[in-house]
């Protein structure tokens, strides 16, 4: 049996530059990954099979469920696999969703998951999938599929994720973005880029899902050194100087809004 974690993806910064003629958006983003997420297990079987359990299993629709089937098709093997997904991350939440699951499955299948051809094929499954295969701090450009290394001075940073349990699809958020180019992603170490960066999708996401503003306000009140929305939302993250500060923040959030989903961890 093979096991992998589909690490939760967060965008420490996300700069929208322009809408392309093919309908996609030109982006510059700083990807980071939390040391927890969904869990995948796989074992040999007579034919490919996918099963799902976990808190958010019921929220999956065919488009999310099928990305694992598409991954198995795109990365053929000599034998069938029974893949089981324990869905711990909320769906349509700015955390990579099915991309994180596909990335974990590719790591299970490929001998060298970071091979250029593997990442090229991964990009055919979704713009975030190559980053989710690597699951380390990277700068993403183009539609997010072009990855570049960055000096990572954030590994081990305590992080708290909070989601108001309101799904928010990516398409409407991009449609609501005003498409104003507010400038390129800054340069520097990962920490410097994160601090000087922004998320251009935060405002349109809040317009569609106002509770995001409440989540951000609550997180900022816990004294992190950075709090921001991830991706197209609705999950927000906060980074802390130490684990004690993060754990106090998690307890405060649980008391303030016990129905909100939370995950405590550290950046990989």
For residue 2, give the H/E element and its range: strand 2-19
| Cα angle: 66, vertex 69, 74; to 5 degrees | 120
Longest Cα–Cα distance in the chain:
53
Q: How many CA atoms lie within 13 A of 59 on its CB side?
A: 18
The single-letter DSSP state of residue 57 is G
9 an active-site residue? yes
Catalytic residue among 36, 38, 101, 128: 128
Asked whether 268 and 160 are in contact (CB, 8 A), the reply is: no
What is the distance between the alpha carbons of residues 12 and 101, in angstroms, rounded to a whole number?
20
259 an active-site residue? no
Q: Both tokens of residue 1?
A: 């049996």
Taking the alpha carbons of 115, 117, 118, 123 in that order, is the dihedral positive or negative?
positive
Catalytic residue among 9, 36, 38, 101: 9
Active site residues: 9, 128
């Amino acid at each position: 049996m093979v096991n992998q974690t589909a690490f939760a993806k967060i965008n420490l910064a996300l700069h929208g530059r322009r809408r392309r003629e093919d309908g996609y958006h030109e982006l510059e983003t700083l990807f980071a990954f939390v040391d927890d997420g969904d869990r995948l297990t796989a074992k040999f079987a007579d034919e490919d099979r996918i099963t799902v359990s976990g808190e958010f299993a019921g929220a999956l629709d065919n488009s999310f469920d099928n990305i694992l089937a598409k991954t198995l098709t795109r990365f053929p093997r000599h034998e069938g696999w029974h893949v089981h997904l324990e869905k711990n991350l909320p769906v349509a939440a700015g955390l990579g969703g099915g991309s994180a699951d596909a990335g974990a499955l590719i790591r299970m299948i490929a001998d060298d998951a970071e091979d250029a051809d593997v990442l090229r094929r991964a990009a055919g499954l979704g713009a975030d999938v190559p980053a989710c295969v690597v699951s380390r701090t990277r700068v993403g450009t183009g539609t997010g599929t072009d990855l570049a290394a960055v000096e990572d001075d954030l590994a081990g940073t305590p992080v708290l994720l909070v989601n108001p349990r309101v799904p928010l699809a990516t398409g409407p958020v991009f449609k609501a973005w005003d498409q104003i180019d507010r400038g390129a992603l800054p340069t520097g170490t990962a920490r410097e880029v994160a601090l000087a960066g922004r998320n251009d999708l935060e405002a349109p996401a809040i317009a569609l899902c106002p509770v995001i503003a409440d989540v951000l306000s609550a997180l900022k009140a816990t004294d992190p050194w950075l709090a921001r929305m991830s991706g197209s939302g609705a999950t927000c993250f906060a980074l802390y100087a130490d684990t004690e500060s993060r754990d106090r923040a998690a307890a405060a959030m649980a008391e303030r809004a016990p129905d909100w989903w939370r995950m405590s961890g550290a950046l990989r």
